[in-house]
Amino acid sequence: MLIAAAALVAAPQAASAATVMDASGDFLPSYTAGPRLADLDVTSFSVNYDAVGKFFTLGATFAGAIDAMTGGLYVIGVNTGTGTIRPFAAIGQENVIFNQAIVLRKDGTGSIGANALDPGAISIAGNIITARVGESLLPSTGYAAADYGFNLWPRIGLGSNDQITDFSPENANLSTRGLQPAVPEPATWALMILGFGVVGAALRRRRPTSSSEAAIVPA
């Protein structure tokens, strides 16, 4: 998987973007609910944030042209800072975290919750879909906008996880700064702290090595 991130304009921090590439033909083993349509197979996903205009441009390419006559839609999960929804652990995507979801449809319409997106902000051309989303539709719950995490998952329908065809990025979120590492759960932090304590106690119990016991390493 390749990651590229670059400033798009000369003014520092005015805009930033990142793109993740995704292998073609990598349908999820858990996808059993429909045909393997080329326009449900992600080959790249990108996130661009314009700090001056206060909007995101989200874009994706697929292995084939987007066909409004076939089934399927595109969901983009967004973590604006308090992402706690992790519904995909059973299919190996436990690090896909979100608290909002953008839905893009093959007919060029879209929505965020009850808010319909302006159809003029959604573009479909061949195997490419792009959507411009105002920051006001994705209010922060703790993150700076440039740190919002995004993940795209095409679906054959809005139902169970066996309808999801692909994830981009795989088992992670993408921000304009690149791939976001997973944040340990509270229980994981507790185990890590306990582990550090055990190691520290063991080191304190070690008897100092005398000079006569020191190993001599040949030159």
What single string gives the DSSP state of each residue in 102-152? EEEETTS-EEETTEEPPGGGEEEETTEEEEEEEGGGS--SSS-GGG-EEEE
Share of the chain above pLDDT 70, in %: 76
pLDDT of residue 202: 46
Residue at 103: amino acid letter: V
pLDDT of residue 183: 56
DSSP 3-state assignment of 153? Answer: strand
Contacts 24+ apart (CB under 8 A), 66-69: 66/39, 66/106, 66/124, 66/126, 66/127, 66/128, 66/129, 67/37, 67/39, 67/106, 68/106, 68/107, 68/108
Beta bridge partners of 122: 131
Tens of pLDDT, residues 38-53: 999 999 999 999 999 9
Tens of pLDDT, residues 60-97: 999 999 999 999 999 999 999 998 889 999 999 999 99
Average pLDDT taken over every residue of the chain? 84
How far is the C-alpha of 181 from the C-alpha of 133, rounded, in Å? Answer: 24
Q: What is the pTM of this model?
A: 0.78
pLDDT of residue 171: 96
pLDDT of residue 107: 97
Per-state percent for the chain, helix, strand, coil, to nearest 5: 15, 35, 50
pLDDT of residue 132: 98
pLDDT of residue 213: 32
Distances (CA, A) of 128 to 8, 48, 62, 167: 20, 15, 7, 16
pLDDT of residue 24: 97
pLDDT of residue 180: 87
Which helix (H) or strand (E) covers residue 20, if one does? strand 15-21
pLDDT of residue 205: 54
The confidence band for 8, taking pLDDT boundaries of 50, 70 and 90, is: very low
How far is the C-alpha of 101 from the C-alpha of 112, rounded, in Å? Answer: 6
Per-residue pLDDT at 6 exceeds 80: no
